[in-house]
Amino acid sequence: MPELRKDPIIGRWVIIANERAKRPNDFKADQAGMKEVLPCPFCEGDEHMTPPEIRSIRKEGTKPNEPGWDVRVVPNDSPVLRIEGDLNKRPHGIYDMMNGVGANEIIIETPEHIDHMSDLSPEQISKVLLTYKERIEDLEGDKRFKYVLIFKNHKPAAGATNIKHCRSQLIALPACPKSVKGELEGARKYFEYKDRCVFCDIVSQELSDKKRLILDIDGFVAISPFAARFPFETWILPKKHSSDFTSIDKNSSVGLAKVLKELLSRMNKLLNDPPYNYIIHTAPYRRAKEGYWSSIEHDYHWHIEVIPRLTRVAGFEWGTGFYINPTPPEDAAKFLREVK
């Protein structure tokens, strides 16, 4: 069973993956470069190669774990956290730890062997986004979980295995992650002081400045954040205030799909098919102590952060938390606006 251990100084949780404990030589092997894994376990017709599906969008009359699906969700067969068991929160001397309980699912975005999400149709991407929503809502029923992170790793340099079939992942966590907490606290303080959502203020500032605006399509904007940490870091936000990603519906999911497709294909062209990650930041499950989340519906605003992996985090960033971004966000936005 993996363990969650809390850093007693910073309060950050770390997953100790003791089930796949690596020895020094394993890391050398990792760096040796990877061949594509074949046959692909995510293609239609290879359903037997994955654990049984959790959910799928499929054509009428077809059965689970058989061909005939559009989007398919399966458990990760080497999960970071384990779905079985209780948390067993406990001290260890001065330290805090709990069992590594959580869900780790793979969302297979297409039955075809396609590498790039930007090659899918907006209708197909919309089905993927609605599947995210459905999974977040479904996992809320499991009282052990406080937060669900949806993310995509594209290419090995962004943390994926070398299977060229587009997919994303979900990890449900028994604790709210520190980076989300940081955003939640910052947004709440801004709201207490100004009585406005900081993200809504950012959206209207960027729509009027236009210098860091990349796309403005069907109720969503893509912007280069004012203090972007990485070159070409881009945020996608709904223009209409909403704290929770699960507020998207069939209609708005198509708009979001169009922005995501357009942004990813522009990054692909401009940056020569870079490895990238995206993450969805949404409000945590509101089941903490009464009153604790009293203003979250008003002060927090869900968004997607897309980060092409063009630079490496080095000693200075590691030691200070200061990032050095070699591309001013205004330039990044201009380059992305001008891609044909």
Residues that bind Zn ion (CB under 5 A): 40, 42-43, 113, 165, 197, 199-200, 241, 281, 301
> In a 3-state reduction of DSSP, which class is residue 203?
helix
* Residue with smaller CB distance to Zn ion, 174 or 238: 238
Smallest separation (angstroms) from Zn ion to the CB of 165: 3
* Residue with smaller CB distance to Zn ion, 145 or 235: 235
> In a 3-state reduction of DSSP, which class is residue 232?
coil
Amino acid type, 38: L
- 233 close to 305: Cβ distance less than 8 angstroms: yes
211, two tokens: 């210098």
* Residue with smaller CB distance to Zn ion, 130 or 198: 198
* Residue with smaller CB distance to Zn ion, 6 or 113: 113
> In a 3-state reduction of DSSP, which class is residue 199?
helix
Smallest separation (angstroms) from Zn ion to the CB of 238: 8
111, two tokens: 């039955």
Smallest separation (angstroms) from Zn ion to the CB of 85: 30
Phi, psi of 10 (to 5 degrees): -90, -25
Task: Please spell the DSSP secondary structure of 22-77, one letter per residue.
Answer: PPHHHHHHHTT--PPPSS-TTSTT-GGGSSPPSEEEE-TTPPTTSS-EEEEEEE-S
* Residue with smaller CB distance to Zn ion, 197 or 257: 197
* Residue with smaller CB distance to Zn ion, 99 or 154: 154
Smallest separation (angstroms) from Zn ion to the CB of 282: 9
Smallest separation (angstroms) from Zn ion to the CB of 179: 7
- 305 close to 278: Cβ distance less than 8 angstroms: yes
Smallest separation (angstroms) from Zn ion to the CB of 96: 26
Q: Measured in whole angstroms, how far is the alpha carbon of residue 93 from the centre of its chain?
A: 34
Smallest separation (angstroms) from Zn ion to the CB of 136: 16
Amino acid type, 141: G
Q: Where are the beta strands (DSSP E) in the chain?
A: 3-6, 13-16, 55-58, 69-75, 90-92, 95-99, 103-108, 147-154, 167-173, 213-217, 220-223, 234-238, 276-281, 303-308
* Residue with smaller CB distance to Zn ion, 40 or 54: 40
